[in-house]
Amino acid sequence: MLSTGTRLRSWILAIGLCVGVAACGTPAPTSSSAATKGPLTIGISVSLTGDFSNTGKAAQLGYQLWASQVNAKGGVLGRQVQLTFADDASSPTQVVTNYQNFISRDNVDLVFGPYSSLLTLAAAKVANRYGYAFVEGAGNGPSVFAAHLPNLIDAGPATAINGAQVWGDYILSLPADQRPKTAAYPSLDDPFSQPAAAALQARFEAAGIKTVYSQIYPAETTSLGGVIAKVASTNPDMVVSGSQDADGWAQVQAMIQQKFNPQFLFMTNGPENPVDFPKNVGAQNTQGIFTSDVWTYNAPIPGNTAFVQAYIAKFGGDPSQIDSTSAQTYAVGQLIEAVAAKTGKIDNATIIATLHQGSYQTVVGVVSVDQYGAPKGSQFLEEWIGGTLTIVYPPNIAEHAPVIPKPVWP
Partner 1 sequence: MIAALALFPFSGAESWIVNIGIFTLMYAALGSAWNLIGGYTGYVSLGSVAFFGLGAYGLALTFQHIGIGNGFLPFALVPIIGIAVAIVSVPIGWIAFRTRGLPFIIVTISLVIILQYMALNLTDITGGAPGLQVPQAPFPPGAYEEYFYWAMLGVFAVTLLACAYVRRSRLGLMMFAVREDEDKARGLGVATSVPKYAAFAGCAAFSAMAGAVWAYYLSTVYPQFAFDGEFLAMGIILVAYLGGIGTLWGPFVGAAILTPAQQYFAYSLGGSQLYLIAYAAVFIVVMLFLPRGVVTTIADRALRRSRRRKQVVEELATAESEALRDAPAPAVAR
Partner 2 sequence: MHLFIQAIILGVLTGGLYALMTSGLTLTFGTMRIINMAQGVFVVCGAYIGFTLFNYLHIDPFLSILVSTPLLFAIGFTLQTFLLKPLRHDAHRLSLLMTWAMAIGLEGILSFIFGTDFRGILTTYQNSSWTIAGYEIPVVRALAFLLSVAILVGMYLLLTRTKFGRSVRAVSQRESAAKLLGVNTDRTAALAFGLGAATAGAAGAMFGLVSSFDPASHYDLIGRLLAICVIGGLGSNAGAIAGAVILALSESLVQAELSPAWSSVPFYVLLIIVLIARPQGLFGVRARGAI
Which residue from 230, 240, 252 is spatially nearest to 201, judged by alpha carbons?
240
Q: How far is the CB of 279 from partner 2 (least distance, A)?
A: 6
- Helices 246-257 and 225-234, axial angle in degrees (round to 10): 60
Nearer to partner 1, 117 or 354 (CB): 117
Residue 300 in the binding site for partner 2 (CB under 8 A): no
Peptide bond into 394 cis (omega under 30): yes
| Integer Cα distance of 173 and 166 in angstroms | 10
Write out the DSSP string of 208-220: TPEEEEEEEE-TT
Phi, psi of 400 (to 5 degrees): -160, 150
| Integer Cα distance of 260 and 55 in angstroms | 31
Q: What is the dihedral of CA 389, 395, 400, 403, to 10 degrees?
A: 80
Residue 11 in the binding site for partner 1 (CB under 8 A): yes
Contact with partner 2 (CB under 8 A) among 33, 68, 257, 309: 257
257 binds, among partner 2, partner 1, none (CB under 5 to 8 A by kind): partner 2
E strand map for 134-209: 134-136, 152-154, 182-188
Residue 399 in the binding site for partner 1 (CB under 8 A): no
Half-sphere exposure of residue 248: CA atoms within 13 angstroms, side-chain side: 27
Residue 281 in the binding site for partner 2 (CB under 8 A): yes
Residue 101 in the binding site for partner 1 (CB under 8 A): yes
Q: How far is the CB of 56 from partner 1 (least distance, A)?
A: 11
Q: How far is the CB of 398 from partner 1 (least distance, A)?
A: 33
Distances (CA, A) of 128 to 93, 96, 102, 133: 17, 12, 13, 7
Q: Which stretch binds partner 1 (CB under 8 A): 79-87, 172-180, 234-242, 253-261?
A: 79-87
Question: Binding pattern to partner 1, positions 142-181, x when CB under 8 A?
Answer: xx--xx----------------------------------
Q: How far is the CB of 395 from partner 2 (least distance, A)?
A: 34
Residue 116 in the binding site for partner 2 (CB under 8 A): no
Q: What is the dihedral of CA 393, 242, 282, 225, to 10 degrees?
A: -150
Contact with partner 1 (CB under 8 A) among 96, 246, 353, 397: 96
Residue 229 in the binding site for partner 2 (CB under 8 A): yes
Residue 130 in the binding site for partner 1 (CB under 8 A): yes
Residue 408 in the binding site for partner 2 (CB under 8 A): no
Q: How far is the CB of 256 from partner 2 (least distance, A)?
A: 4
**Residue 119 burial (CB < 10 Å; 0-12/13-18/19+)?**
buried
89 binds, among partner 2, partner 1, none (CB under 5 to 8 A by kind): partner 1
Residue 317 in the binding site for partner 2 (CB under 8 A): no
CB atoms within 10 A of CB 211: 16
125 binds, among partner 2, partner 1, none (CB under 5 to 8 A by kind): partner 1
Pairing of strands 110-112, 134-136: parallel
Write out the DSSP string of 43-94: EEEE-SSSTTHHHHHHHHHHHHHHHHHHHHTT-BTTBPEEEEEEE-TT-HHH
CB of 196 closer than 8 Å to CB of 268: yes
Q: Which residues bind partner 1 (CB under 8 A)?
A: 3-4, 7-9, 11-13, 15-16, 19-20, 22-24, 26, 46, 48-49, 51, 84-89, 91-94, 96-98, 100-101, 103-105, 117-118, 121-122, 125, 128-131, 141-143, 146-147, 189-191, 194, 216, 218-219
Residues lying near partner 2 in the complex (CB under 8 A) are found at: 49-51, 53-54, 186, 189, 215-218, 220-227, 229-230, 233, 245-246, 249-250, 253, 256-259, 276, 279-282, 285, 409
